Amino acid sequence: MKDFEYLAPKTIEEALSLLSQYKEEAKIIAGGQSMLVIMKQGLIAPEYLIDIKGISALDYITYDEKQGLKIGALTTHRDIEKSPIIQKHFNVLSEMERNLATIQTRNWGTIGGNLCHGDPAGDPALLLIALNAKLKLKSLAGERLIFMENFSKDLLEVDLGSEEMLTEIQVPIQKPRTGVAHEKLMVMQGDAGIVGAAVSITLRPEKETCEDARIVLSNVSSVPYRTREAESRLIGKVINDTLFDEAGEIASAGADPPSDVHGSAEYRREMIKVFVKRVGQKALERAMQA
């Protein structure tokens, strides 16, 4: 690994000043679970490494009935999994975290690091898109909010300027009669998903017709893949298994899955159909009980 200068700011302002000073020469490190891997592989070699783990102001989980859920970027996966606030109001996030990597990785890895790494196989991004979440990005010039849906640009590439830092994830209160579910295809628990799906379904007041739907898939494209065509197959209809099958076919046809040691593109296309239906059924059940 190439030598670098290690910097450890204790406040957000200090970190932003360092980013502004060193720009492309600097990289943030949070839990280091992805960063150290790509540094060891020689894929990046920053001159300055800005360790934000000591910025306690970025580590929090809050909830209120108007503003919804707010998660500081430095919150670890394990803290999200175990948070009573999240288990009460957004248990699907806790469920997702339980299947993310091992406890050791969840203890170090942060939600902000996961999203900024921009891995299309990552679990939080697709679920946060299904939940219509926003990200708060800060620089010395100010701050901006961006929908999670628009954050991923390409493989390992996100909409984050060299002087910007992700500070917060905001999840809005879901509409009444909404159910959300996430599952992924793993060989062993905690494996990265060969294919993952997050589905959100909102029912009309009579609890039969689908008012709104979101279907988002991981590891089937260079970025999390939201399939509006498949969603529109469900919206305005009384959902049944046939409609889920059709939505799965549409999602599968629109995806651009990779072929790798974990599965061929053809296999992934089949799994998309299975997971759109399976996760969709779970989301529908939850919407009926909501």
Ligand X SMILES: Cc1cc2nc3c(=O)[nH]c(=O)nc-3n(C[C@H](O)[C@H](O)[C@H](O)COP(=O)(O)OP(=O)(O)OC[C@H]3O[C@@H](n4cnc5c(N)ncnc54)[C@H](O)[C@@H]3O)c2cc1C
In the bound complex, what is the minimum distance in angstroms from residue 140's beta carbon to ligand X? 14
Question: Which of 35, 194, 234, 276 contacts ligand X by CB under 6 A?
Answer: 35
Q: How many residues bind ligand X (CB under 6 A)?
A: 29
Check if the beta carbon of residue 172 is closer than 8 Å to that of residue 178: no
Q: Which residue is nearest to ligand X (CB)?
A: 113
The Cα-based distances of 182 to 222, 261, 281 in angstroms read 19, 23, 11
Given the complex with ligand X, which of 34 and 170 has the nearer CB atom? 34
Q: How far apart are CA 57 and CA 63, in angstroms?
A: 16
Q: How far apart are CA 283 and CA 200, in angstroms?
A: 6
Best CA proximity match to 199, nearest among 111, 127, 94? 127
Residues of span 70-129 touching ligand X by CB under 6 A: 73, 100-101, 105, 108-110, 112-114, 116-117, 122-124
Question: Which of 7, 18, 22, 33 contacts ligand X by CB under 6 A?
Answer: 33
Beta bridge partners of 165: 138
Residues of span 254-283 touching ligand X by CB under 6 A: none
State yes or no: residue 217 binds ligand X (CB under 6 A).
no
Given the complex with ligand X, which of 27 and 226 has the nearer CB atom? 27
Given the complex with ligand X, which of 142 and 205 has the nearer CB atom? 142
Handedness of CA 46, 51, 57, 62 (dihedral sign): positive
- Tell me how many helices (H) and strands (E) the chain has: 11, 14
In the bound complex, what is the minimum distance in angstroms from residue 266's beta carbon to ligand X? 23
Question: Which of 28, 185, 197, 213 contacts ligand X by CB under 6 A?
Answer: 28
Q: Point out which span in 33-41, 87-95, 209-217, 220-228 binds ligand X (CB under 6 A).
A: 33-41
Indicate the SS3 state at residue 3. Answer: coil
Given the complex with ligand X, which of 122 and 257 has the nearer CB atom? 122
Torsions phi, psi for 210 (to 5 deg): -80, 120
State yes or no: residue 166 binds ligand X (CB under 6 A).
yes
Question: Which of 31, 179, 263, 280 contacts ligand X by CB under 6 A?
Answer: 31
State yes or no: residue 198 binds ligand X (CB under 6 A).
no
Beta bridge partners of 143: 138
Given the complex with ligand X, which of 182 and 282 has the nearer CB atom? 182
| Long-range CB contacts for residues 245-250, cutoff 8 Å, separation at least 24 | 245/273, 245/277, 247/215, 247/276, 247/277, 247/280, 248/272, 248/273, 248/274, 248/275, 248/276, 248/277, 248/280, 249/273
Q: How far apart are CA 37 and CA 287, in angstroms?
A: 40
Question: Which of 4, 12, 14, 32 contacts ligand X by CB under 6 A?
Answer: 32
Residues that bind ligand X (CB under 6 A): 27-35, 73, 100-101, 105, 108-110, 112-114, 116-117, 122-124, 160, 165-166, 190, 192
